[in-house]
Amino acid sequence: MSMLTNHILTVCALLCLFIFYAQRKCWLFVWQLKGWRGVIEQPILWLLLVVNLEPNDIMVAVKRCRKYFKSPVAVIVGTRILLYVDDPGTMEAVLTAPECLNKTFLQNGFFANKGLLHAKDEKWKIRRKQLNPTFSHQTLLSFFNTFNAVGQEMQQQLSEMLLQTETHRISFEALEDLISRAVLEVSCLTTMDTSTHFTRSDTEGITRTYRTLMEISALRTIKPWLQIDIIFRWLNEKIYEKSRRCNKLVEKFVTDMVQRKLDEWYAKSQTSSTRETKINIVKVLKKNDSIDGIDNAADALTDGMNSSSAPLVSVDVEHKRIFIDQLFHLAEMGELTFAEIINETQSMVMVSFETISTSIMNVLLCLAINREYQNELRNEIRQVLSKVSAQQRQQQQQQQKHQQRTKHINPADVDNADDFHLSVVMENLQQMPYLDMIINESLRLLTTVPMNIRNVSKDIQLHIIEQKQQQRKPDIDKLRDGQDVIKGKRILWIPKNTLIAMDTFSMQRDQSNWGPYAQRFYPKHFSKDYQHARHTFAYIPFSKGLRTCIGSRYSIYVLKIFLIKLISRFDFDTSACLDNLEFVEGISLKLRQAKNIEFHVQPCMQQ
C-alpha cells in the first residue's frame, strides 16, 4: 500500500513540475507585473473567472472586480495568460503591434468564423486588400438611394405598428426586430444586390435566427470547450440542436443568394460551354448538414469552373463592384475558391447586420432617455432638410413614385410632410455636426462591441500602463493624455499566445479618460473643446490601429440615415433609466432588461 502511495505521490510531483515548467513564462510575467500580489491573486481570479463564466454575468462581474483589482490584471489559464487591460495607452500599444494582429482561439466559437473577420496574419492582409474596393467612397455613395429607400419603408412599417396600438407603446424587442429586418435588407441589397423585403416581413425568421446564433456564439466564445461538438452536445443537447437548425437555415439563406447571383453571372457568358459546367450548388449543399459540407460542395464547383473552356464573365474592370461582384471577380482571377466565397458572404452579411442594428437601438435608447438632446437633434435635421430646394424635392418625390412600394399609412393619422420623404445625401450629412456628436456619444457610452480580444503571435515587448494609486475625479482642463490621473508606464515582455482582453466598454466610461460626466450621456464630449483633451485611443467604437473595421464608414452612413428617418418623423420616450441598465455580452452589447423596456412613440408633426 505504501509503495502505491509513493508511486502516486511521485506521479503527482512530476505532473506539478511539468505544469510549472510549461507555465514558467506565465508566472514570470505575473511576477514582473505585480510581484507577490499578482501571485497571491491567482486563486481568487481563477475562482471569479469560473463562477462568472456566463454571457449574462461576465460584464457585471468585470464592473464589480474593477473596484478591487488594479488594471492591468493577469490570469494564468492553462499554459496561457489572459491579460485584462482597460486603458487607452495599453490598447494603443496592442492594436498597433503587428504581433497582436490576430483574433484568438476563443473567437472560433463564432458561427461564421472562416471569413475576413477571423482571418489571420498574411491571409488577413491579402483578403483585406482584395475586399477594400467594395467599401470605397464612391461605392458607398452609390448605396445612398438604397439606404434612403429602406429607411422610408422602415418609417412606414413603424407607423403601421403605431396604428395597431392605442397607447403608442412599442416594446424594445419589437422595435429591435423592425430595425434588424431593415438593416438586414440593406445589407442584402448593398453587398449581394438581392432584394429580400425583410423590412415588410420576415416569414422564415432569418433575423431571429441570426440573433440566436449570436447568443450561442457568445456562449461558445466564453466557454471554449463548447466549440467541440461532442462536448457541446453532451453538456447541452437542447442548445446544440438549436444551433444546428439555425446554422442550416442561415447556410441555405446565404447559399440561395449566392446561387442566384451566380446564375446571373453565368447568364452574361457568351459561350454555352461555360453554362454547361455550372453545378446546382443548392442541391449539393442540401445533402450536407454542416458548414464543413459547404467546403466539399464548393470545391466541386470550383473544379468545374477551372475545367471550363471559357472564363467567367466579369463586370467591367472600371465599374464599381459591390461585395458579391468582387468575390466573383476574384474567383475568376483564381484568387478565391467558391468555398471562400460562401465563407466571406456568411461573415459579411452577419456582421454588417448585427453591429449596425445594435448601434441604432443604442442611440435610440439614449435619445429616448435624454429627450432634450433628441429635440435638439430633430431641430438640426429639420433645419438642414428644409434647405433642400423645391426642385430637388419634386425630383426626389418623382423618383419615389417609381419605387414599387405600397403605402399602408392613413394620411389622416400620420402627417406626411414633404421633409419626411426627402432623400438624404452626403452633403446633408456634412451639415449635421450635432448628429455626429449624438452618434459618437451613444457609441461611447454603449459601445457596440464591449470587449476586443487579441492573440500575441510571438514574444514581444509592450508598454503597459498601470495605476499607481486610487483614481480621483479629474480636472477636465487636465484630461489631455491622462495628466490628471497618476499612472505609470512599464515595458514588459508579453509571452507568446497571451490573450489580451481589451475592455473597450469600461475604458469609454472611465472618468480618468472622459472626466466627471463619463457615466452620463453628454454629447459635448465630442465638441471641439473636448476632442483634444483625451487620448486618441480613448474612443474606439470600430477598433483602431492595424486591424480596423472594413465597414466602419458603411455602418456610420446607414446609422445616420436611419436615425434621420426615425427622429424626423417620430418622438421617442421611455421610462428606462441609464443608471439602472445592466449589460450582457452577446458578441455585441445587449441589455439584460430588454424584455422590460418600452418605448412611447408619437408621430411628429412638422413645424
Question: What is the predicted pLDDT for the residue at 482?
Answer: 40
Residue 604 has pLDDT above 90, yes or no: no
pLDDT band at 607 (very low <50, low <70, confident <90, very high): low
The pLDDT value given to residue 312: 39
CA–CA distance, 374 with 369 (Å, rounded to integer): 9
What's residue 287's pLDDT?
Answer: 40
Specify the pLDDT at position 394. 63
149: nearest Cα among 409, 404, 426: 404
φ, ψ dihedrals at 311, nearest 5°: -75, 165
Per-residue confidence (pLDDT) for residue 441, from 0 to 100: 97
**DSSP code of 578?**
G
pLDDT at 309: 35
Q: Which amino acid is residue 215, in one-letter code?
A: E
Q: How confident is the model at residue 313 (pLDDT cuts 50, 70, 90)?
A: very low
Residue 585 has a pLDDT of 86
Residue-level pLDDT at 315: 38
DSSP structural state of residue 215: H
**pLDDT for residue 114:** 86
- Mean pLDDT computed over 36-42: 91
Tens of pLDDT, residue by residue over 554-602, are 999 999 999 999 999 999 999 999 988 999 888 889 998 889 999 999 9
Q: What is the mean pLDDT of residues 112-116?
A: 85
Residue 113 has pLDDT above 70, yes or no: yes
- pLDDT-based confidence at residue 362 (cuts at 50, 70, 90): very high
Q: What integer pLDDT is reported at residue 400 of this predicted model?
A: 60
Q: What are phi and psi of 451, to 5 degrees?
A: -135, 135
Residue of 26 and 486 predicted with greater confidence: 26
pTM of the model: 0.85
Q: Going by C-beta distance under 8 Å and a sequence separation of 6 or more, which residues neighbour residue 596?
A: none
d(CA 560, CA 276): 46
Q: Which three cell numbers stand for residue 46?
A: 481563477
Instruction: Please answer whether residues 587 and 449 qualify as being in contact, where contact means their C-beta atoms are separated by less than 8 angstroms.
Output: yes
**Burial of 331 from C-beta contacts in 10 A (0-12 / 13-18 / 19+):** buried
Predicted local confidence at residue 117, as pLDDT: 86
Q: Give the residue from 63, 80, 71 showing the smallest Cα distance to 468.
A: 71
Indicate the average pLDDT of the chain: 82
Spell out the residues 6+ positions from residue 88 whose beta carbon is closer than 8 angstroms to its own.
482, 507, 513, 534, 535, 536, 537, 538
> Cβ neighbours of residue 574 under 8 Å, at least 6 residues apart?
365, 368, 369, 597, 598, 599, 600
Q: What is the mean pLDDT of residues 493-509?
A: 94
225 band by pLDDT with thresholds 50, 70 and 90:
very high
Grid look-up 445612398 returns 144
Query: How many CB atoms neighbour CB 535 within 10 A?
Result: 19
The answer to whether residues 563 and 360 touch, using CB atoms and an 8 Å cutoff, is: yes
With CA atoms as reference, report the closest residue to 450 among 41, 61, 33: 61
> Residues 6 or more apart from 379 whose CB is under 8 A from it?
none
- Angle between the 121-131 and 323-332 helix axes, to the nearest 10 degrees? 120
The per-residue pLDDT for 419 is 53
Q: What CATH code would you report for 131-444+555-603?
A: 1.10.630.10
Per-residue pLDDT at 274 exceeds 70: no
- 12 confidence band (pLDDT: 50, 70, 90): confident
pLDDT band at 444 (very low <50, low <70, confident <90, very high): very high
Report which residue type is found at 371. R
**366-395 residue pLDDT tens:** 999 999 999 999 999 999 988 764 446 566
Coil, helix or strand at residue 260: helix
Contact 259, 218 (CB under 8 A): no
User: Contact, 300 vs 279, CB < 8 A?
Assistant: yes
Rg (CA), the chain: 26
Domain boundaries, the chain: 2-100+449-540, 131-444+555-603
Model pLDDT for residues 135-194, shown as the tens digit of each residue: 999 999 999 999 999 999 999 999 999 988 888 899 999 999 999 999 999 999 999 999
Q: What is the pLDDT of residue 110?
A: 86
Q: Does residue 495 register a pLDDT over 50? A: yes
Residue 607 near residue 382 (C-beta atoms within 8 A): yes
Q: What is the mean pLDDT of residues 8-21?
A: 77
Lowest mean pLDDT among 289-298, 405-414, 532-541: 405-414
Indicate the helix (H) or strand (E) that contains 572. Answer: strand 570-573
Write the CA distances from 330 to 221, 323, 326, 546, integer angstroms. 31, 11, 6, 24
Q: Which residues are annotated binding-site positions for heme?
A: 549
Binding residue numbers: 549
Task: Provide the terminal-to-terminal Cα distance of the chain, rounded to the nearest Å.
Answer: 92
34 pLDDT exceeds 80? yes
Joined together, the cell numbers standing for residue 466 give: 498601470
72: preceding bond cis by omega (within 30 degrees): yes
Q: Under a CB-based contact definition with an 8 Å cutoff, are residues 505 and 412 in contact?
A: no
DSSP 41-56: HHHHHHHHHHHT-STT
**What's the pLDDT at 345?**
92
Q: Would you place residue 432 in the very low, low, confident or very high pLDDT band (cuts 50, 70, 90)?
A: very high
Query: Strand, coil or helix: what is 81?
Result: strand
